[in-house]
Structure 1
């Protein structure tokens, strides 16, 4: 195994993508294609996640409780972000439709995307092609938006996002 140099942002996306598979079998090549990441990068990511206790290779599954706790407590510290300038893009964090049902805000947060239909403050995605991956999978998109709410949200937004992630990560599956 290669030397472990810590997590990379797209490791979070890969683990979330595995969670969306529920109990369906998956292959590294399929994850790579769905996420627009190379197969070698997916493999290296799974090795890093295994080293960190977030992935169980023998079961080909995410250590859900550890991952959930990392998302709630560690993610905002390890992969912090702040809203940037106004851009067109795809809504995220509290601006995602699932959160809009519970949070009223005139302020939109978006992942930058050329030709995006929404205009809001830019939130850096975890990796360059994240928007493409999110457009392919509504469940992954929802989970990524909730993770962004943990990264940039206020207390109420983080609490609601954690409830939604708890349901998706710990309860379902």
Structure 2
């Protein structure tokens, strides 16, 4: 068995992309193309997730309860984020669906992206290709935005996001 040297930020991106695919058949090369992450990094990411207990040994099926627990309890501590400077980008966290209709905010949070349409406080994505990948997959976009709430939201926002993640994952 391979040694586990810790999760990396893009491992969460890969897991949430798998979650977005739900019951659809997928291959590692599909994930690589859709996320803009090399096939070898996808393979290593999946191996780390199996060792961490977030994917079953078949490397296809998510351990949804474990993933939800990690998003709730681990993500804010392992990959915390603080809003930064005003930039143009793609809305995230409570500024994106599904929470944008539930939570009103003066200043939106955005992933910096040159083709973005919203100006707001910058939030570093878990992988630099996240904004581009999210614009191509609405379900994945919602998962990523909800995970950002777990990284930088307040308690009320996190509780709402957690309920949305539970509805989608479990």
Range of TM-score over shorter length: over 0.9
CA distance in 2, matches of 1:94, 1:24: 28
- The CA deviation at 1:59 is 6.0
Q: Does the CA contact (< 8 Å) of 2:35 and 2:129 recur in 1? A: yes
- The CA deviation at 1:108 is 0.6
> For residues 67-78 of structure 1, what are the structure 2 equivalents within 5 Å?
67-78=67-78
- The CA deviation at 1:116 is 1.9
Q: Does residue 91 in structure 1 map to residue 91 in structure 2? A: yes
SS in 2 for 1:136: coil
Q: Does residue 101 in structure 1 map to residue 88 in structure 2? A: no
Q: What is the TM-score normalised by the length of structure 2? A: 0.96
Partner of 2:162: 162
> For residues 20-99 of structure 1, what are the structure 2 equivalents within 5 Å?
20-58=20-58, 60-99=60-99
Q: Does residue 124 in structure 1 map to residue 127 in structure 2? A: no
Partner of 1:12: 12
After superposition, the Cα gap between the structure-2 partners of 1:166 and 1:12, relative to the gap in structure 1 and judged at 3 Å, is same
- The CA deviation at 1:115 is 3.7
Partner of 2:151: 151
Runs of 4+ in structure 1 over 4 Å off: none
SS in 1 for 2:111: strand
Any stretches of 5+ residues in structure 2 without a counterpart? none
SS in 2 for 1:6: coil
CA distance in 1, matches of 2:94, 2:149: 6
Any stretches of 5+ residues in structure 1 without a counterpart? none
Partner of 1:111: 111
- The CA deviation at 1:144 is 0.3
- The CA deviation at 1:60 is 1.4
Q: When the two structures are aligned, how many residues end up with a matched partner?
A: 170
- The CA deviation at 1:2 is 4.2
- The CA deviation at 1:128 is 1.2
CA deviations on 1:64-123 (whole Å, 9 max, x unpaired) are 000000100111001111001110000000101321211111111000011421011000
SS in 2 for 1:90: strand
- The CA deviation at 1:21 is 1.3
